[in-house]
Structure formats: C-alpha cells, structure tokens
Structure 1
Amino acid sequence: MGSALSRRRMLGSLAGGALLLGTATAPRSHAAPRSHAAPRSHAAPRSHAAPGRRLPDPGIITATDPALLSAVEAASLLHAGQLHPRELLDACLARTREFDGAIGAWIRLYPEFAYAGADEAGERLAQARNDGTPAPDVCGLPIALKDLFAVSGLPLTASSRVLEGNIAAGNSGVWSKLEDAGAVLMGHAHTDEFAIGVATPQVGNPWNTDMSPGGSSGGSAAVLAARFAPLAVGSDTGGSVRLPASVCGISSIKPTYGRITSHGMIPLTWTRDHVGPMGRSLADASLMMSILATVDADDPITALGPPVPAGGYPLTAKGGSTPLAGVRLGLPPSELPPPLQTLFDDTIQVARSLGAQIVPVVMPPTPTSLVTGDVVEMGSYHRQFADRIGLYRPERVPSVGTAVASLAVPVVDYLMLERDRLRYQVDYNRLFVDSDLDAVLIPGTRVDGAQREEFLGVSVTEGVMGDVKWANYSGAPVVTLPVGRSSATGMPFGVQLGARPWQDERIIEIGLELQEALPAWRDVPDLVPSAGTAPEVAQVAPGPGPDPTNTLDAAAPLRTPPMNAIR
C-alpha cells in the first residue's frame, strides 16, 4: 500500500491537456449490410485472459432459465460449451415478448440480425474450444444498444419522431468493437428523446411500471432490470447511466471521458458525453468495458489513456475480512429522504467494516458558466432539425429552441467556458490530493421513486434528481451499484463511487468489494405478463451518410481530454 500512497501524494501530472480540434477523420466508405449466409472473418483477438481463469466455474451456476443468468455466468457457460448463443437468445427474446408490453424498454428488436450473430458466435466459440484459443468474453452475449448508437442498415431514431425513418449509414465505434468480439445485438432500447431528459417517460421501471426508470438511458436500464438481456450500452451526459442504474437496481460504469469511443453516436453535448457500459452487476459492466475501452482510429481521444489492463478489467472481488483496508473514501454532505438516507448510512457502515476510512469532504462547486456551453453544443447539433421543431415532444420544444438560439454566443465566450471546465478539473483533482482520497462516495439519486412523467421537461444538464454533474465536468470515472430498496416505496437505490481521471481500473476494484458485501443486484422484480409490442425489424441498405448516424454534425469538433493536474 505504501507505493500506492506515495503515488497518490505526488503532484498530479497532465494526462493530456491539449484540445483535440477537428478530430473527425475522413469518412470511411460504409459497407452494405453483411450477408448472413456465411460467417464474417474475425480479426485476430486482442489479448484476453483464458475464460476458465476469468469467468466463474460453470459447475457452480444454478440458474435454469438462461435469461436469468448474469453476463459473467452466461459467458462461462457459453465458453464451456454448456449453452449455445441461440439458446440464450431464445430465452431473452421469449422473456421480452412475454413481459415487455407494460415496460416498453425496447424501441425495436432485430431477431433476424440477432440469430445470424448468435450462430456466428456459436461457431466461433466452438472453434475456440477446439483450438484452445479463447474467444472474447462477450462472444455470444445478447446486448441492447441505446437508440443513439448507429448500426449500419438498421434504424436510428433517438426515440424521436424527428428521426422517424432514419437508417444508419455505418457502424458506431461501440458496435464495431462489440460485433468484432462476437456480441449479439438484440435491439435498440429507448432513450429519453435525444438523451435530453431524465425521465424516459415511454418506459416503465420493471420494479413498478408506474414509476420512471430514470434517464436518459432508462430503456437500457429497464432491459437489464427485467432480465431481457444481460448487457446494455448507455450514455451519460449528466448522470444518464448512473441515475437509471440507481433507480432500476442495476450497475453501470461511466468511464473516464474519452476512454470509450463516441464515434457514430448521436450527441447531446460533445464535451460531456460519455459512453457507459451497463450490466446487472458491476462485474457484468466491467466485462464489456474491457471490449469497449480500446483505441478507435475514428476517435483519436481514445488513444490518450492507458491501455486496458492485461487480461481485462477486474470481474471479481479479492474478498477477505478487510479488502478495503487503507482505502480512503471522501463523503460529501448529502440530503436524502429518510428511507434512502438509511440505505446510504448502512452502505457507509459496510464500507467501514471492509476496512475503508471515511473522510468528510466538500466537493468543488461546478461553475454555472458551463451550462451555457452545454446549451451551445446541443444547439450546434439540433439546428439541422429547426424545420421539424413540431415533431419533438412538447416538453422538449423550449429546451431545443433555446439551444438553437444559443448559437449566437460568441466563439471566444465558448472557449472561455472551456477554460472554466479545465479549472474545475484542477479543483476536483486537488480535492483528492489534499484529502488523500482513493474515491468519493455519493448517493446515486436524491429521489425515492418518481412517476413516469414527473420530471418531463427536465434536462440532464440540470442535475435535479441527483448529484451527478461533477463527474461529467471532471471527466472522472464512476461506478454505480445497487445497495438495497426503499422501505417506503420498494424502489431500488444505488450509490456512486468516483475516482480521478484514468483510474477506471481502481474504481472498479473498489466497487467490486462493496458489491460483494451488498449483492442487491441479484434481486429480481416480479413481472406481470404483458405481451411486448416493439416492432421486429430487418436490416436494409445503409443510409447515405456521410456520418454513421446519417445526420449532420454528429462528430465532435472539439474534444478536451481530462487532466490529472492539480495546479
């Protein structure tokens, strides 16, 4: 621990402070939809630990319904040849079709595309067993993508009538990596329209379908909570994977800004958008993080961080009586409803029992000027839809109109706002150095259940449902994990653990220890049969582009790498 403390007490160093301007590369030609008649050729696999050492022993897995398997459990059985990807997909689709009517987590399903992918994954896993060379951990696992991530030849609508009929022109970087690793795309999950809001009102929380699953990645979180798929991808601009994870009882990782490519993703605000792996457990999300947190030539910021750890991000807790001995957790003040405060206080006591030291801290205030920058970036993308303003949900029209009007802000003022962002990052990092912290511990939400339409019109930039903006402005990595359910509403509640930029591996390690002691993620909601209504769509010819999203101005013109500097 001494060397770790020494490193922590050293002055932070710049992890990449230059602005990346015009990072979009020349458009690639977009291939036509792949033929399902023959398997794709697969690139040489990246470095992976052998699944037998990394995944749980198949012999200890007791679930009989494949849809109820966690991602790491399903991966173990898939790699051992005890489960075929088609069987797993069958179970996930059957559960979706039986229960999704009242939840509405999916906006579209792609069974034909998915079964083709499952068959290819099955062949790849069989070949890996024969050759003794492990396939990627996610091979054969069904996945939900938030309706922001482009998949060539499939619809991409951001859950909005504004993009009705839009067909992606190419693959997002996220889907390219997952497809190369053998993942199986089940469908797109609903988002709050264009990822702007915190409610995702078209989706019901699986724990109580009258309640909101949070937003904007509410559909992705609902898919996981309902056990419709073992993995999902969301995005986080102002808590958009953390809030849904907390209120749906699942886990998420908001990685360091730029750690995962956002190429081919419909943006909200370029300098705050983070791609977020989501899973039922933190181990599940970490499994997918190892695939996604690699360099993408179409998004140069992804080359600035450290490489993925050898063998991938951690999946298991070290365990023992005091696995968090020597770990210092900063605890900012918080105000919560009594049932949530009880759960949070209990979590603090569990952390102490595991050896953690709890240190009272005060988070640096987020500059109010940054909200203006958020609105300018949003307007830069949405101005292309000015002639379709009436197609937005009514509660979104004022915020979109304001965003487009904000483009009158002088460029020099916008750049000064970016200066304020860098100053905030320095203040955030200084908090960790001055208090000698490993992480901060913060409630996942301030709301003990919300009706589906209770927060209509509220933007993720406002942070009204929880203390979340600090992580998007600092670019810091955060894991969110469930710790229990409210005694008043029965709704799940989770906590956030945040570190300094580029300490993704460390914060996952700490989160795994806490989740091992608080395995609330294993709780499954009781679902009422209600036939799903999401349309089942086949792949068609890709849109004209040039961007994979088949829209304009989706590629970030400016990307600011997060810094570890303190002065």
Structure 2
Amino acid sequence: MTGAVAVSTAVAAPAVADSPGNSGTSGATAFQRALPTLSSIKKRARLVDYEVVELAVLLRAGVITAVQLTQAYLDRIDRLNGPFETYGDNGGYNAFVRLDRDGALAAAAAADARFARARHSGEDLPPLLGIPFGIKDSVAVKGLEAKDGSHAFDGNTALRDATVVHRLREAGAVILGHTVCSAFSGSITGTFAGNAWNPKYVPGGSSQGSGVAPIARLAAACIGEETGGSIMMPSAANGASGIKPSLGTNSVAGLMPLSPGYDVLGPIARSVRDASLIMSVIHGPDPANDPLTLSAPDPFPAMPLTASKGHRPLAGLTIGIPLSDWMRTSKGMQTGTKPQDLYDADHAAAFERLKSQLTALGATVKEFPGLDVTVAANDPYFSSTDVLATVDGSSVSPSSAVLSPNRYEIRYWDAVKDFAATRPADQAAALLAQYGRKGPNDTTSSFDSAIRFGGAIPASVRVEGEKRRRTLQANYQAALDAAGVDFMLVLSLGAQIGLRAGGGFPVYRAYYQLPNALTWPMVSFPIGYDTTVGLPIAAQFWGPRFSEPLIVQAAIDYQEHYPEYHNAAPADPDFSAATPKVAPRMLVVEPATPPELSNDPLVAEEALR
C-alpha cells in the first residue's frame, strides 16, 4: 500500500513543473514531446497500475523513485509468483522463472541518481529510465542462465546481453529477470504459468510469463519471442498489448533460436502505446550480429507514441476481414466456413462491437476473400505438399528447404550437441530427444543425423524454397491490393480458452504460423471480456512487412477512445492454500504438444499438410 499512498500524495503536489520531460533542457526530444503532462495522468489504484509512459512522467517529476517502483514489483512477485526455477505448476502465477533482484535494485538506484542529477544539469534522459522489465527465458541476460523452458539447459549462462536487452539497458530499463516460457518454446497454449485473469486457465505460449507479468502487475512490460504465435497467443490469452514485428525489424542476436528466418523479438505491455515506445528503443540495424536487420528501412519510420487528433482518427483506412483465415476447432480446420461464424457468443459480440467502434473512428471495415492458402496455386510454400528433394532418406518440403539450411548455417544442432556433451546424463538425454534426428536409414537418434540432413540440402533446392516463399508473400499482398485493404483484422482466439489441465484453445486460427512465414507484423490488443469467467477477448491487426507504424497507430487510436479494456486489472488471486504440483529443478517438459499447436513451423506446417 505504500506505493499507492506515495503516488496519490505526490501527483497532486503543485511544486512539480507540468512539463513532459521535466529535465530542464531547452530542446525537448520527440519522446519528451510525446509524454503526457503530469496533470493529465489519471490517478490509479496502485503504483503498479500505471502504464510505462505514465511512469516515465512520474519518475522524471520526482513523484516516485525507480527503487520504489522496482520494489513494488518485487514485492508482488514475492507474494504472487511462487517458487522460481519451476517448469510446471508452482502454486502461483509462475510468470518469472528467475530474478536478478540485486541487479535490478542496483539499476534502479543508479536510475534515481541520474534523475537527481538531471534536475540540476538539464541532461536528456533515456526513455525507459527506471522502468522494470521481464525478459523471456530464451533471451540472453548477462550473468543469468537462459533455459528456454527446460532444465535441460541448466548451466547455459549468458556471457553478454542479447542486443535487445542491451538496447533496453541503454534506454535505462531495469531488468528484473527471466519470464517462463513453454518447454523449448514449443507450445502456443502453455501450462507452466497461470493466466493473469484466472490462473486455472492456460496463459498462451510460448512467451507465457511475458504475457502474464504485465497484466498481473509483476512487471511494467516484457520482451517476448515469436516463431509462430508465441507473442500473439499469450498477448491475446492475457489481454495484453503485444507487437510481433516484421522479420528484420528487431535484432534476434542473443536469442536461443527455434527457426532462424522466422524468429522475432517484440514487446508485450499493458497498452499499445507502451509497446510502441519499447519498439522505438529496441529496433534498428545490428549488422554485425543479425544481418537480417539490414533488410528493414533505415531509418525505420518513427513508431507512434501518441494518439491521432480528432474524433475520426482512422478516416481513410480500409481494414479487411479475411474470410479464408480458417479457424480450427476440435473437429479440425474448418475450411469454407467464415471465421466469425465459429466464434462463441462472447467473442462474436465483442467482434461485432469492435467493427462498430472502428467504423465510428472513421475506418472502412469490410470482409474480403483474403488468400486461401489451402489452394495450391495460392501457396506454393507454407502448406504445400510438394517435395523438392529427398535428402538422407527424408523428403524436403519447401519450408524445410529454407529453414533447415538456416539452422545448419548457425550451427543450431552443433551448438546443442557441444553443450550436451558437458552436461549430466539426464540433461543430455533430454536435449537429444528434442534436437536429435532419427532418419529413415538411422538405427538411433543423433545430433549428427540432424546436422547431416540440414547440411546436405542442395543450394538449388534452398533457392527454390526461398522463391516460393516470396511468391506466397506477393500473392498475399496482391489479395490485399485487389480488395483495397490497408491491413487486416483477425481474432487469433475465437472462444473461451481452456483450463491448464488439458483445455488448450477450443477455437483458434489454423494459420497462426502464416504471419511468420510471410514475415509480416501483427499487434494484439484486448477488446472485451467473456461473461462467464471474465477472461480477455483480444483482436489483432495484421499488415504487410514493415507496416508496424500503420497498424500500431491504429491500435493506439483505438485504445485512446476505448481505454476500458486495456486499463482493466485482474483481482489478485489467493495462492495461500496452493501447493506446487511440480518440484523446482525437476527435469520435466510440458505434456506432449499436438503438432497443430506447435511453435516449430516445420512441425505445425506438416500438421496442416
């Protein structure tokens, strides 16, 4: 309660200047100009309820301190998270799998010292100074182990920060620790963490903890990683505001990769405005460590930090609802049925309300065919049944022709093999089971078999796979152009999500992997809550590659006019009687992930075929 008292007392203090940056500089930065004024910030119930942009103002004004803020989050983690280093139900939220408590408090103290100096020196301050973050368990944080959701990676200590983490620190962020993720980043449903609104329900994966922590008020914001749904699904399941960037927008150097050429890192926060601010900090070229970032526009168009003016900010935009974005139910993929015809009553009502809200904001919202990727002529790549070659006894699909050589080139299997050789037998066996291959001509599974397969795919086959990928991208863009659509509106989840005990996603987008195959960005944001359990209902904007500023601005404008959804906060659960169902440091994995729910594109796409 001390946080709430301090804020409510200080916000009203008349002695604090009502200027965005309050640093005394004559030339305000774009960020400072975008900050709200102190007097415009509405009083919130708790310190941890303020958005990142609001916290930046409160910290600069001296209303709160970074140590106070960091301690408020640490106190909640201590009370609600449950035991650390647990890949399973730990009896709490289990959003954080490990903390760097001393490092976080030291960084917060250093931020406070810098704030104090700036009030006298007038120096510019970095935008995220003093803001506490969580980082997905697959991303390197110097000095911490990164385990990608499994104790099979015990001992995998980072020698330096991932590029995204380094950029967060350069922007002043306080790194709290690692957030839990699905085992080997392999599931879009997840069971290790508890949903922020009701821990009995799935949190979405694989960036489970990064989806839960901002909404459960265990961190101000988090970094997630997506290969196929891993940012969008936990954002949707927890009612967070997340951005899955285009391939190449943000560096993935320092990530434990799943599929290079698909993997992306992006922010998950409570508001799209906050997520956009984080994007503005972490994006940009990283030529020495991630050459894919050289494909992005440089300079990248500015990420929006404020809502557009006027009552009809979306005027001139055409938002398309793709009718061939087929949903999957317990009966399989429902081709030929409109996605919205499969939504449950609450999701259907929220979707219709959203369409009306977007129309009221000036947008033209219309249905259009989209691109039906079940038609072979439309999609020669993603779900194609074509075999481009046979290598070491195994068929090479178009997507495997791209991803397997990508994995080979970064020593994907070699690195795990080398690490496994240094680990105890149980870890080595778990790593072999996950990353090894047993080809048609092999008697046992081995890392060498996987390396042999990836390295033997001919260059001509790889070129054909890449050509087909570009064809798919061009075909999808042509579908938007033919309909005059700027970007798309979809629901990744079409019905109330299930319980952690085997519930999963009853209705979800069958092609949740497609945006990553296309390299296109998405933004997820809450649009309501169901009437039975009170779980979030979320929508996603999905646009062409590098259209982040466009789709993010539209989402910011929506939240400016309809703030009730992203400002809602769950009640704190009572974990006092809960007991962990899995012992810490037990070498476990999640229940076997059905292929159609896998984040691995080669697994999920095979299920589609």
Category of TM-score, reference length = shorter chain: 0.7 to 0.9
Q: Distance in 2 between matches of 1:138 and 1:97?
A: 24
Native 8 Å contact 1:211 1:450 kept in 2: yes
Which amino acid in 2 is paired with 1:527? D
Q: Distance in 2 between matches of 1:70 and 1:225?
A: 11
In structure 1, the residue matched to 2:412 is 381
Of the three residues 70, 80, 95, the one matched with 2:61 is 80
Which amino acid in 2 is paired with 1:338? A
> How many angstroms does 1:198 deviate by?
1.3
Task: Evaluate the alpha carbon distance shift between residue 321 and residue 474 of structure 1 in structure 2; reply closer, same or farther with a 3 A threshold.
Answer: same
Instruction: Give TM-score, length-normalised by structure 1.
Output: 0.78
Of the three residues 415, 421, 426, the one matched with 2:469 is 421
Native 8 Å contact 1:245 1:252 kept in 2: yes
In structure 1, the residue matched to 2:72 is 91
Which amino acid in 2 is paired with 1:75? A
Is the aligned partner of 1:483 residue 2:527? Answer: yes
Which amino acid in 1 is paired with 2:62? G
Of the three residues 527, 530, 537, the one matched with 2:575 is 530
> How many angstroms does 1:411 deviate by?
3.4
1 or 2 for the larger relative contact order (CA 8 Å, sep ≥6)? 1
In structure 1, the residue matched to 2:295 is 304
Is the aligned partner of 1:372 residue 2:400? Answer: yes
In structure 2, the residue matched to 1:22 is none
Which amino acid in 2 is paired with 1:341? A
Which amino acid in 2 is paired with 1:303? L
SS in 2 for 1:232: strand
> How many angstroms does 1:142 deviate by?
0.2
SS in 2 for 1:125: helix
Listed as ranges, the gaps of 5+ residues in structure 2 are 1-26, 83-91, 324-338, 374-378, 384-396, 440-446, 581-609
Of the three residues 499, 514, 519, the one matched with 1:451 is 499
Is the aligned partner of 1:56 residue 2:56? Answer: no
Cα deviations across residues 25-51 of structure 1 (Å, max 9, x unaligned)?
Answer: xxxxxxxxxxxxxxxxxxxxxx98255
Of the three residues 519, 539, 545, the one matched with 1:495 is 539
Cα deviations across residues 121-148 of structure 1 (Å, max 9, x unaligned)?
Answer: 1222233333333312111100000011
> How many angstroms does 1:391 deviate by?
4.4
In structure 2, the residue matched to 1:507 is 551
SS in 2 for 1:143: strand
SS in 2 for 1:200: coil
Cα deviations across residues 477-526 of structure 1 (Å, max 9, x unaligned)?
Answer: 21111101122442111111012112211111111112223321111111
Q: Distance in 1 between matches of 2:512 and 2:56?
A: 32
Native 8 Å contact 1:67 1:95 kept in 2: no
> How many angstroms does 1:528 deviate by?
1.9
Which amino acid in 2 is paired with 1:90? Q
Q: Distance in 1 between matches of 2:508 and 2:365?
A: 26
> How many angstroms does 1:95 deviate by?
1.2
> How many angstroms does 1:371 deviate by?
5.0
Q: Distance in 2 between matches of 1:400 and 1:68?
A: 45
Task: Evaluate the alpha carbon distance shift between residue 284 and residue 317 of structure 1 in structure 2; reply closer, same or farther with a 3 A threshold.
Answer: same
Cα deviations across residues 94-131 of structure 1 (Å, max 9, x unaligned)?
Answer: 11111122211100011100011111212222333333
> How many angstroms does 1:307 deviate by?
4.1
Q: Distance in 2 between matches of 1:445 and 1:395?
A: 32
Q: Distance in 2 between matches of 1:179 and 1:533?
A: 36
Q: Distance in 1 between matches of 2:526 and 2:429?
A: 31
Cα deviations across residues 276-335 of structure 1 (Å, max 9, x unaligned)?
Answer: 11111101101111100122242233233234668x521222243221111100111213
In structure 2, the residue matched to 1:330 is 320
Query: More displaced, 322-331 or 384-393?
Result: 384-393
In structure 2, the residue matched to 1:40 is none
Matches within 5 A, 1:454-465: 454=502
Cα deviations across residues 361-401 of structure 1 (Å, max 9, x unaligned)?
Answer: 23321531455358736686246546689649989957865
Q: Distance in 1 between matches of 2:522 and 2:216?
A: 23
Task: Evaluate the alpha carbon distance shift between residue 391 and residue 517 of structure 1 in structure 2; reply closer, same or farther with a 3 A threshold.
Answer: farther
Q: Distance in 2 between matches of 1:484 and 1:402?
A: 47
Is the aligned partner of 1:470 residue 2:518? Answer: no
SS in 2 for 1:103: coil
SS in 1 for 2:320: strand
Native 8 Å contact 2:185 2:207 kept in 1: yes
Of the three residues 355, 363, 367, the one matched with 1:360 is 367
Percent identity (aligned): 28
SS in 2 for 1:182: coil
SS in 1 for 2:81: helix
Matches within 5 A, 1:4-83: 49=29, 51-59=31-39, 60-63=41-44, 65-83=46-64
Matches within 5 A, 1:81-230: 81-101=62-82, 102-230=92-220
Native 8 Å contact 1:390 1:397 kept in 2: no
Q: Distance in 2 between matches of 1:83 and 1:382?
A: 48
SS in 2 for 1:521: coil
Native 8 Å contact 2:436 2:450 kept in 1: no
Matched pairs, number: 483
SS in 1 for 2:466: helix
In structure 2, the residue matched to 1:549 is none
Cα deviations across residues 411-465 of structure 1 (Å, max 9, x unaligned)?
Answer: 3434432222111111122223222222110113234212225378x9xxxx965
Task: Report the structure number with the largest CA radius of gyration.
Answer: 2
Native 8 Å contact 1:339 1:488 kept in 2: no
Q: Distance in 1 between matches of 2:112 and 2:534?
A: 40
Task: Evaluate the alpha carbon distance shift between residue 402 and residue 178 of structure 1 in structure 2; reply closer, same or farther with a 3 A threshold.
Answer: farther
Task: Evaluate the alpha carbon distance shift between residue 498 and residue 129 of structure 1 in structure 2; reply closer, same or farther with a 3 A threshold.
Answer: farther
> How many angstroms does 1:55 deviate by?
1.5
Native 8 Å contact 1:161 1:392 kept in 2: no
Which amino acid in 2 is paired with 1:65? R
RMSD: 3.0
In structure 1, the residue matched to 2:485 is 437
Q: Distance in 1 between matches of 2:233 and 2:348?
A: 16
Q: Distance in 2 between matches of 1:235 and 1:399?
A: 19
Which amino acid in 2 is paired with 1:339? D
Q: Distance in 2 between matches of 1:54 and 1:342?
A: 34
Which amino acid in 1 is paired with 2:269? G
Native 8 Å contact 1:174 1:292 kept in 2: yes
Query: More displaced, 118-127 or 247-256?
Result: 118-127
Cα deviations across residues 36-80 of structure 1 (Å, max 9, x unaligned)?
Answer: xxxxxxxxxxx9825542112222331252212111111111122
Q: Distance in 2 between matches of 1:84 and 1:56?
A: 18
Which amino acid in 2 is paired with 1:526? A
Of the three residues 303, 310, 320, the one matched with 1:313 is 303
In structure 1, the residue matched to 2:391 is none
> How many angstroms does 1:259 deviate by?
0.4
SS in 1 for 2:224: strand
Q: Distance in 1 between matches of 2:278 and 2:320?
A: 28
Native 8 Å contact 1:100 1:530 kept in 2: no
Query: More displaced, 263-272 or 293-302?
Result: 293-302
SS in 1 for 2:106: helix
Instruction: Give TM-score, length-normalised by structure 2.
Output: 0.73
Query: More displaced, 71-80 or 244-253?
Result: 71-80
Query: More displaced, 244-253 or 494-503?
Result: 494-503
Listed as ranges, the gaps of 5+ residues in structure 1 are 1-46, 535-567
Of the three residues 267, 283, 287, the one matched with 2:273 is 283
Native 8 Å contact 1:100 1:533 kept in 2: no
Native 8 Å contact 1:445 1:466 kept in 2: no
SS in 2 for 1:74: helix
